Structures are given as structure tokens and as C-alpha cells.
Amino acid sequence: MTKKILIADDEPNIVISLEYLMKREGFEVLVARDGAEALQMIEADPPDLVLLDAMMPKKTGFEVLQAIRPTHPGLKIIMLTAKGRDTDLEKGRALGADDYVIKPFSTRELVERVRQLLDQSGAETET
């Protein structure tokens, strides 16, 4: 069964890149253009993993994270940020992000991390 990945970012060109990358790796891809949309889509049809941009209009990535973490404890979330400040990293971890990727990122490394997280969740559901 193909895993479902939600890409939440407001930069169209980044969305284009990520969408192509994830599709190429064989994932099903959903796209949200802002925080509110992302939240709505997660509630409606929870994906397996979210690539969540930290700086988005309407709702920031942190706000989305805060809102969904209690209701979706098993959902894997990778935060994406262009700021790359330590405080942001800590904030993301504290709010329960599974991983944190700083823009610009290596595509290979990102794919690696996505796979790792999804394998983990697979293992968890099997046990």
C-alpha cells in the first residue's frame, strides 16, 4: 500500500520540487498551500507523513503541529524551515515533530529520512 504524504508549503516552486521528488519515490502526494488548509486536510484524511513548512500564512507550521499532535500521535511530521535557528529546532522538537530539515536540503537525505520514519511507523503497526 502506497504511503500518503502531505506537502504543506506556501512557496509554489518548493511545492513543485517536493511533489516531483516524492512522487518519483512512489508516494501518494497531497498539497496544502497554507497552514489552515494543511490542518483541514489532515483532519479530513490523515496522511502517513507531513512535510510541514514552519513559515506559512494563516497558520504557521508550529501552530499546525500544536493542533494536530494531541489528536494524531502516530502521524509522522518533518518540519521544514529556512530560518535554521536553534530556537526553532527546539520549538519544533518540543511540540512533537519527528524530524527537522533545514532548507535548502539535500533531496537524497530528505528521501532517506522520510523512508526511515515511514518504516518505523510500519514496524510499530506490525508489532
Query: Binding residues for another protein, per CB under 8 A?
Result: 10-14, 16-18, 20-21, 24, 33-34, 55, 57, 82-85, 102-108
Which residue in the block uniquely carries the three cell numbers 536553534?
86
Q: How far is the CB of 109 from another protein (least distance, A)?
A: 10
Q: How far is the CB of 123 from another protein (least distance, A)?
A: 27
The region, left, alpha or beta by phi > 0 then psi within -120 to 50, assigned to residue 96 is: left
CA distance 81 to 102: 5
> Cis peptide leading into 104, omega within 30 of 0?
yes
Residue with smaller CB distance to another protein, 12 or 122: 12
Q: How far is the CB of 58 from another protein (least distance, A)?
A: 10
